[in-house]
Amino acid sequence: MARKNSKRAATEISLPPFPWQTEIACASGKAVRTPRKNVVKGTVDLPGTPDVHGDVVANRAKVWRTTQAPVLATLNPSARAAVMDYAEAFGVVHSSGGTSDPSGGGGGGGGARSPNLRAIIGAERLRHMNAALSGGKMVVPLKNARRIRRGDGLARISLRQLAEWVAVDELTRAEVLRRSGAAPSNDLARDGFTLALTDMGERLAICCGYTDAPHAVEKLRNMPGAGV
């Protein structure tokens, strides 16, 4: 006679702690908030594995995760991770005194690393990422172009500025377009924002080593010299 399987209560799985600073102490002793968000427990789907009968078994794992701005939902995982790296490096550098030369002190501790070393490493990372964004622009039509009647009626925002707005200030698409002088309801402006956001994410992902550089990069609409 087959034994009936007894139901057991699911065991609560605890996740190991890990360093995740959401605040950094400045040289003055004042604690400032970093771009890092608070973490929460979540689950992710893992690749299925076949059992002894050949059936594919779905697997899930518990992980720590952060909430991300909805505007980043269109980016692939590599680009989103790179944008988070940009926000972290930006926070470390500017909390050390607001410059790219943090050798004067500041910044919070990072394990065994001194505050100065941590800030210097962050500044180097930020310098490389800013160099990767150099030359790229978001091109959107100005809201009052007909009334102004000056220039070509387009606003050109550097990808570096876009990265700060999206990754650090966490602005929405509508807020970014308003700051650029474009109408959030304009379809061309929305398309220009999406193209620029994708370009920004790809450049940062390549710079951070999350993805390989393509062997042939086509000129995107928001790159210098490209048409609109």
Q: Is the pLDDT of residue 149 over 70?
A: no
Q: What was the pLDDT predicted at 59?
A: 73
Q: Is 222 exposed, middle or buried (0-12, 13-18, 19+ CB in 10 A)?
A: buried
Query: Residue 152's pLDDT band (boundaries 50, 70, 90)?
Result: confident
Taking alpha carbons only, the member of 228, 162, 165, 225 closest to residue 198 is 162
Query: Residue 223's pLDDT band (boundaries 50, 70, 90)?
Result: very low
CA distance 14 to 16: 7
Residue type, 51: D
Q: Is the pLDDT of residue 52 over 60?
A: yes
Q: Which residues contact 188 (CB under 8 A, 6 or more apart)?
A: 140, 141
Higher pLDDT, 134 or 102: 134
Average pLDDT, the chain: 75
DSSP character string of 48-94: EEE-TTSPEEEEEEEEEEE---GGGGGS-HHHHHHHHHHHHHHHHHH
Both tokens of 136, joined, read 């790229």
Residues 68-102: tens digit of each pLDDT: 778 888 899 889 889 988 988 888 787 655 444 43
Tell me the C-alpha to C-alpha distance, in Å, between residue 125 and each of 79, 89, 128: 16, 7, 5
Provide mean pLDDT across the span 179-208. Answer: 94
High-pLDDT (> 90) share of the chain, %? 30
Poorest-pLDDT segment among 52-66, 119-133, 213-227: 213-227
Provide mean pLDDT across the span 17-36. Answer: 71
Q: What was the pLDDT predicted at 169?
A: 85
Q: Which residues contact 121 (CB under 8 A, 6 or more apart)?
A: 113
The C-alpha torsion from 127 through 131 and 132 to 138, rounded to 10°, is 110
pTM for the predicted model, two decimal places: 0.62
Expressed in angstroms, the distance from the first to the final Cα of the chain is 76
Provide mean pLDDT across the span 118-127. Answer: 85
Q: What was the pLDDT predicted at 220?
A: 41
Element (H or E) spanning 153, and its range? Answer: none
Q: Is the pLDDT of residue 133 over 90?
A: yes
Residues 177, 189: contact at Cβ < 8 Å?
yes
Residues 158-186: tens digit of each pLDDT: 999 999 999 888 889 999 999 999 999 99
CA distance 3 to 100: 69
Both tokens of 24, joined, read 């950094």
Tell me the C-alpha to C-alpha distance, in Å, between residue 101 and each of 31, 118, 168: 20, 12, 19
Query: Residue 9's pLDDT band (boundaries 50, 70, 90)?
Result: low
Taking alpha carbons only, the member of 81, 78, 76, 79 closest to residue 66 is 81
High-pLDDT (> 70) share of the chain, %? 64
